[in-house]
Amino acid sequence: MKFIHRLEQAWAAQRSLLCVGLDPDPARLPGQLSSFAHPIFEFGRAIVDATADLVCAFKPQIAYYAAARAEDQLEMTISHIRRHYPAIPVILDAKRGDVGSTAEMYAREAFERYQADAVTVNPYLGFDSLQPFLDHENKGVIVLCRTSNPGARDVQDIASDGRKLYQLIAEKAARDWNANDNVLLVVGATYPQELREIRAIVGDMPILVPGVGAQGGDVAAVLANGATADGTGLLISSSRAVLYAGSGADYAQAARAAALKLRDEINLCRKFQGA
């Protein structure tokens, strides 16, 4: 099944647009996990188990695992999700982008080694750097377009023939790169006006929206500017605000409470808009 169809099923079955990012910082893990052989996996497993009924996707960030020499624990985490929650897609947040032969290895890493359903990619090197990912027709390829960080304007606002780079990326993604119907975009919640512009360019293409919670993005603005006519079209991602909602023995319950609050806020905004 194509990633887009899996995502649509998750939106409906879970009644959720929430994506929980798994960014396990060893320095912030609860102290009681220090005795475990695989503390990063145990942390991620507990978060997944506590929030699985509230999300449409999980998004592990590879850098947090690789920096801790814990790639095996990333594999364990994704395997746990696949075994216990097979209907929930897994997005590997890797932001890969390199020349074609190297990109092919990165695509194999994401889709064969880690068994991810989708991966984030950087389009700066152009189409040939994306093609090895796009050739995996049933996998999602999530292209950076308008990122949530303050420095996004430094490059993404560069103008060419009167249009900004992020607008050109959105147009190419929708017009040229989506032959297999497996392209999504990343647009930060911190740029709601740009989100509206990009939605107008790409139609119903799904958009991954990081930046709510710790980065200050507004849920109502995201829904108003980015949702499709049926009230979907978005994966609204939160990581730190959910993962580190608590730091004691009840950290998983605190994460669940934070995820439930955000899921309900998203659904309330959808209801208010008639979705």
Per the annotation, the verdict on 95 as an active-site residue is yes
Cβ atoms 231, 225 nearer than 8 A? no
Residue 21: closest CA among 82, 64, 83: 64
Cα dihedral sign, 257-195-61-84: positive
N-term to C-term CA, the chain: 26
Annotated catalytic residue: which of 95, 139, 164, 172? Answer: 95
In angstroms, rounded to a whole number, what is the distance separating the alpha carbons of residues 56 and 237? 10
Cβ atoms 232, 30 nearer than 8 A? no
In angstroms, rounded to a whole number, what is the distance separating the alpha carbons of residues 9 and 121? 24
Cβ atoms 230, 275 nearer than 8 A? yes
The four Cα atoms 171, 95, 128, 108 give a dihedral, to 10 degrees, of -130
Residues with active-site annotation: 95
